[in-house]
């Protein structure tokens, strides 16, 4: 019983302390300063957040914004701002429209697609490297400028694992075919030299380079490029690898391109690459957005979705296999929720994040999936991660690193890092919980003592003391009783008359071992004398807490 009481008290304490321990997605870290983050990139040590519309000017005057990039440390729950990179150029550059960090956490690239850069909205990109001696981020190489008017170079950027190669997407020429250029850092000249030729769209309006994803390091490099405008916006996604012998970018596989099934699918709006061993994984988003290229295109009549494909590399030959579906499509949650506007794969390709920024009145939703080898499909992890309010556009950008998922809400002006696991929710402050728990344990002990006393019952010794039956001192009490009867000691209570003493002795001899209730029933104390004897009988029947406060003398007998 004693252990049971303690267990109940402990359970009570735990329930107060942690109301819910179910696995769920919860905010494990958030920047101390929140703002509209259009693009994000999460590494093991920092979170880069691009705010292309940050700076001076009013919110509704976008051209007055130069843009900023904020670097937050991820070593604490309340991430502190480590570095803020101000605009580089003129108002309206949209510096921070795109950001990407290297896997080694030492380098990142920033795109500013609306910068004139010697022409009209040619755009540019800048790379920054962490300098340990200065303990700060410094520019790495020269600014990488776009070469075509209205090309908007820097609308999409990515960087290799070691930070030595960068990829920059552009709308390209006036035909809007789009292109992707890759650059290799040259330490001697402290500059960036183009690596291979341009990766261009197949036809007008393909818009290749709308999204890009770069993995690996020289010479083992892979680049994915999405062109959502291809063939009446069916969309296309293509993957290339660096062919070192020929010094050019070659298509990966026989069936080289992934094309949408229906017009306005917009396949390639987002892409994400991953590689594990000889397996290359490609996630493709097809959001069927109502707005494309800044113009409303109305009801599309197609369902938004995302899909993952796998390519198995062959030794020394990347041309003899084709892309295979890796699990079924990730379907939209509701009509026009823009599922697939952003996709992100973990480095091994086994975790997938898919955003639906149009969900529930543009509140936005991000779902995370883990690949299940038994069912050969991506299975949802927990529940979807929703935005706070309508029109937040939660899931504008998503970045995965390890077990953490970073999500930006461009119009909600917040960025959170989520972790899946057990989270304790406190009903009240922890210090209050500890105080209540301590009082609960004391009360439990008192209740336990009272119940034990009532269960064991009491009897009167020959000297008028109440003895608990069944106690550990029973033999000692019995010995005391016999010795006292032989000595015929005087009664310690003078208010008992000689007749009452005789009646007590007589009843006690006849009812040896009975509890106090039985003694009362046999007329030990007359009803008109009950008030005088309450000091004796009340102690055995009173349930108040005072019964638990009686002290114990040296002989182990409880005083009444």
Neighbour-count burial for 171-193, b at 16+ CB within 10 Å, e otherwise: bbbeebbbbbbbbbbeeeeeebe
Which CATH architecture describes the domain 24-292+300-419? 7 Propeller (2.130)
Q: Which of these ranges, 8-12, 199-203, 358-362, 457-461, has the smallest mean pLDDT?
A: 457-461
Highest mean pLDDT, choosing among 34-38, 71-75, 191-195: 191-195
Q: Which residues contact 206 (CB under 8 A, 6 or more apart)?
A: 176, 177, 178, 227, 229, 230, 236
Give the single-character DSSP code of 317.
B
For residue range 108-137, what is the model confidence (pLDDT) as tens digits? 999 999 999 889 999 999 999 999 999 889
Q: Which of these ranges, 26-40, 101-115, 257-271, has the smallest mean pLDDT?
A: 26-40
- Compute the radius of gyration of the chain from its Cα atoms: 39
Check residue 321 and give its pLDDT.
Answer: 72
Q: Which of these ranges, 66-80, 114-128, 229-243, 525-539, has the smallest mean pLDDT?
A: 525-539
Q: Which residues contact 102 (CB under 8 A, 6 or more apart)?
A: 43, 108, 159, 160, 161, 162, 163
Tokens of 100: 């990407």
Q: Which of these ranges, 145-159, 172-186, 494-508, 528-542, has the smallest mean pLDDT?
A: 528-542
For the chain, what is the mean pLDDT?
78
Check residue 174 and give its pLDDT.
Answer: 82
Check residue 38 and give its pLDDT.
Answer: 84
The answer on pLDDT for 546 being more than 70 is no
The answer on pLDDT for 52 being more than 50 is yes
For residue range 319-367, what is the model confidence (pLDDT) as tens digits? 667 899 999 999 999 999 999 999 999 999 999 999 999 999 999 999 9
d(CA 555, CA 497): 27
209-223 mean pLDDT: 97
Q: What dihedral do alpha carbons 211, 30, 357, 371 form, nearest 10°?
A: 70
CA 469 from chain centre, in angstroms, equals: 58
Count of CB atoms within 10 A of residue 69's CB? 28
3-state secondary structure 321-383: CCCEECCCCEECCCCCCCCCCCEEECCCCCEEEEEECCHHHHCEEEEEEEEECCCCEEEECCC
Q: Which of these ranges, 111-125, 258-272, 306-320, 503-517, has the smallest mean pLDDT?
A: 503-517
Structure-model confidence comparison of residues 36 and 398, the more confident one: 398
Check residue 257 and give its pLDDT.
Answer: 85
454-462 mean pLDDT: 45
Structure-model confidence comparison of residues 293 and 138, the more confident one: 138
Check residue 306 and give its pLDDT.
Answer: 97
Check residue 301 and give its pLDDT.
Answer: 55
CA 150 from chain centre, in angstroms, equals: 40
The strand order across the sheet containing 414-422 reads 78-79, 23-31, 414-422, 404-409, 394-401
Check residue 548 and give its pLDDT.
Answer: 41
* pLDDT > 70 in the chain, percent: 64
d(CA 528, CA 278): 99
CA 136 from chain centre, in angstroms, equals: 29
* pLDDT > 90 in the chain, percent: 51
Check residue 11 and give its pLDDT.
Answer: 57
Structure-model confidence comparison of residues 180 and 302, the more confident one: 180
Tokens of 289: 């957005």
Structure-model confidence comparison of residues 442 and 384, the more confident one: 384
Q: Where are the domains of the chain?
A: 24-292+300-419, 427-454
Structure-model confidence comparison of residues 341 and 81, the more confident one: 341
Check residue 476 and give its pLDDT.
Answer: 52
d(CA 321, CA 310): 10
Highest mean pLDDT, choosing among 116-130, 439-453, 529-543: 116-130
Tokens of 194: 């183009």
Find out whether 228 and 292 touch, Cβ atoms under 8 Å.
Answer: yes
Find out whether 250 and 292 touch, Cβ atoms under 8 Å.
Answer: no
User: Phi-psi bin for 124: left (phi > 0), alpha (psi -120 to 50), beta?
Assistant: beta
d(CA 471, CA 477): 9
- How would you classify the pairing of strands 23-31 and 78-79? parallel
18-47 mean pLDDT: 80
The answer on pLDDT for 92 being more than 60 is yes
Give the single-character DSSP code of 159.
E
The answer on pLDDT for 73 being more than 60 is yes
Q: Which residues contact 4 (CB under 8 A, 6 or more apart)?
A: none
Closest CA to 326 of 372, 262, 259: 372
The answer on pLDDT for 317 being more than 80 is no
């Amino acid at each position: 019983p004693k252990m049971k009481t303690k267990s109940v008290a402990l359970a009570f304490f735990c329930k107060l302390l942690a109301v819910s321990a179910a696995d769920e997605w919860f905010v494990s870290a958030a920047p101390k300063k929140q703002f509209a983050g259009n693009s994000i990139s999460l590494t093991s040590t920092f979170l880069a957040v691009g705010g292309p519309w940050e700076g001076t000017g009013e919110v509704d005057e976008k051209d007055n914004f130069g843009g900023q990039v904020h670097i937050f440390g991820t070593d604490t729950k309340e991430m502190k701002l480590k570095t803020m990179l101000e605009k580089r150029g003129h108002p309206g550059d949209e510096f921070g429209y795109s950001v990407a960090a290297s896997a080694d956490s030492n380098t990142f690239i920033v795109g500013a697609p609306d910068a004139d850069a010697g022409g009209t909205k040619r755009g540019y990109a800048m790379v920054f490297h962490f300098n340990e001696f200065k303990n700060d981020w410094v520019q790495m190489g020269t600014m990488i400028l776009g070469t075509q008017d209205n090309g908007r170079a820097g609308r999409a950027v990515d960087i290799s694992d070691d930070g030595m190669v960068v990829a920059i997407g552009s709308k390209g020429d006036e035909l809007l075919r789009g292109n992707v250029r890759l650059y290799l850092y040259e330490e001697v000249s402290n500059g960036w030299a183009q690596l291979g030729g341009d990766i261009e769209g197949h036809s007008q309006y393909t818009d290749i380079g709308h999204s890009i994803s770069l993995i690996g390091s020289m010479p083992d490099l892979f680049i994915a490029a999405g062109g959502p405008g291809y063939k009446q916006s069916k969309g296309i996604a293509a993957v290339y690898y660096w062919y070192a012998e020929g010094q050019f970018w070659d298509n990966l596989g026989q069936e080289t391109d992934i094309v949408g099934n229906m017009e306005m699918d917009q396949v390639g709006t987002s892409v994400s690459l991953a590689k594990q061993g000889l397996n290359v994984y490609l996630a493709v988003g097809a959001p069927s957005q109502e707005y494309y290229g800044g113009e409303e295109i109305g009801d599309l009549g197609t369902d938004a979705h995302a899909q993952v494909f796998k390519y198995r590399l062959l030794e020394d030959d990347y041309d003899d296999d084709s892309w295979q579906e890796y699990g079924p499509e990730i379907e939209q949650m509701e009509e026009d929720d823009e599922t697939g506007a952003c996709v992100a794969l973990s480095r091994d390709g086994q975790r997938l994040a898919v955003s639906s920024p149009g969900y529930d009145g543009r509140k936005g939703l991000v779902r995370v999936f883990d690949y299940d080898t038994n069912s050969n499909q991506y299975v949802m992890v927990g529940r979807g991660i929703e935005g706070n309010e309508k029109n937040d556009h939660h899931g504008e950008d998503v970045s995965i690193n390890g077990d953490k998922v970073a999500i930006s809400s461009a119009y909600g002006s917040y960025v959170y890092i989520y972790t899946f696991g057990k989270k304790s929710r406190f009903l009240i402050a922890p210090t209050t919980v500890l105080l209540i728990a301590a009082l609960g344990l004391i009360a439990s002990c008192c209740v336990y003592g009272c119940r034990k006393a009532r269960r064991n019952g009491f009897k009167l010794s020959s000297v008028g003391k109440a003895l608990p039956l069944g106690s550990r001192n029973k033999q000692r009490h019995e010995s005391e009783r016999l010795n006292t009867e032989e000595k015929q000691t005087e009664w310690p209570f003078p208010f008992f008359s000689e007749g009452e003493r005789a009646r007590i002795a007589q009843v006690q001899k006849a009812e040896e071992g009975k509890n106090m209730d039985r003694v009362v029933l046999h007329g030990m104390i007359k009803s008109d004398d009950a008030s005088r004897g309450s000091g004796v009988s009340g102690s055995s029947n009173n349930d108040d807490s005072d019964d638990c406060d009686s002290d114990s003398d040296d002989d182990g007998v409880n005083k009444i």
